[in-house]
Amino acid sequence: MEKRTFSGNIFIFQAFDIGEDTDLQQIEKLQVLRTKPLQLPNYFKIYHQPLVVELPHPHQTSTCFSSKIEDFGTISLTYKIPFNQSLEDLRSELERVYDKYQEISVADANIIYNKIKKFIKKPKFFHLRTSYVIIQLDVDPQIDAQYLKESYGNTLTSLVRFETETLSEQQRKEIINDAISYYKGELVIIGTQVAFVYDTEYTNLLDLFEFSNIQHLELKYFDQILAERLNLLYEQKTKMILKRQLIPLMGLPHSPIANLGRLKVDISVITEQLQSCIMLANEPYLTDIYNKLIEKLDLFGWKKSIDNKLDIIKEVTSVYYNRLETIRAEILEVLIIILILIEVILGIVK
């Protein structure tokens, strides 16, 4: 069959963790970067509003479609790369394009980071990053979802698996059967790294994919931070009880366990905000897509891992404070005994 030329866009979402809380109000007030109006779909509930900014010059590309700064210490960049070629050629070039924008995004995010660094609590570029790709095909009224599945199923399934070779028939059927279609002409196939979107109103989906990529980043980041803190705590467990912490009302605010407790609160607040930020009750199509993204990015798995670590923190905190109170009680008993002995001795002397 002759190769057919398709037009569309490659959207590449990049999210970078750059530290802890970011003061968006000061960044906007002092005009550190040029800002743009925030336009979010109706399905977003506003628990926090990201700051939409222009990518400062000089930068390497004009394909940066969107750049946002989140108040919990994240930079999110979206690139839009037009294409006009066959799906087979696109499949062979996708990895090269992806690698190119991996490098470009680091340079672009670093430009923003250097501008806002002093407004970030504990800045660091960067702890982690996450990426996601959308292959968006312009809709042709004469081509429906069924035709794409039958004629280009092999290529599409390879694209969403980031493969250059044709997948097995079993894998192809599994991916195609997992596709989402609401109307006859629409087709959305979601993979772990790449999604294929054939929808006239695809712009309504972009914020959903970007948000899911940010969720993925934050959950991975929190999981890593908790793992590091717990490992550090385990390695230093013989030194946990500091001398000044044995004195009532002293040392507790700065103890390693107290710091973990504060981290637990911060993580719980941000993850709850991220989970509650989207309201899709009356949007079955978007709900299906978001649920599929949650499944493919394993967001529930990351959340479960974080919850398990938070439970461990709770148990360790309880054991720690019980041990501390026991030691303090024993010290007080010894002090009382010493005071009684002193009184007895003074009585005898008199």
Statement: residue 142 has pLDDT above 50: yes
Statement: residue 236 has pLDDT above 60: no
Mean pLDDT of 22-51: 86
Conformational region of residue 309, where left means phi above 0, alpha means psi within -120 to 50, and beta covers everything else: alpha
Q: Which residue has the higher pLDDT, 266 or 179?
A: 179
Residues of 91-103 as b/e, b for ≥16 C-beta within 10 angstroms?
beebeebbeebee
Statement: residue 163 has pLDDT above 50: yes
pLDDT tens, position by position, 197-227: 999 889 989 999 999 999 999 899 989 888 8
Statement: residue 242 has pLDDT above 60: no
Contact 2, 73 (CB under 8 A): no
Q: What is the CA radius of gyration of the chain?
A: 27
Mean pLDDT is lowest, of 28-32, 190-194, 276-280, 340-344, for: 276-280
Which percentage of the chain shows pLDDT scores above 90? 40
> What's the pLDDT at 89?
93
> What's the pLDDT at 42?
79
Statement: residue 107 has pLDDT above 80: yes
Q: How far is CA 278 from the centre of its chain?
A: 15
Mean pLDDT of 232-239: 60
Statement: residue 260 has pLDDT above 90: no
Q: Which residue has the higher pLDDT, 56 or 265?
A: 56
Mean pLDDT is lowest, of 110-114, 119-123, 312-316, for: 312-316
Statement: residue 317 has pLDDT above 90: no
Split at pLDDT 50, 70, 90, the class of 319 is confident
Q: Which tokens is 298 given?
A: 């394993």
> What's the pLDDT at 318?
73
> What's the pLDDT at 254?
47
Statement: residue 252 has pLDDT above 60: no
Per the prediction, the chain carries an average pLDDT of 84
Mean pLDDT of 82-104: 93
The model's pTM: 0.84
Q: Which residue has the higher pLDDT, 250 or 144?
A: 144
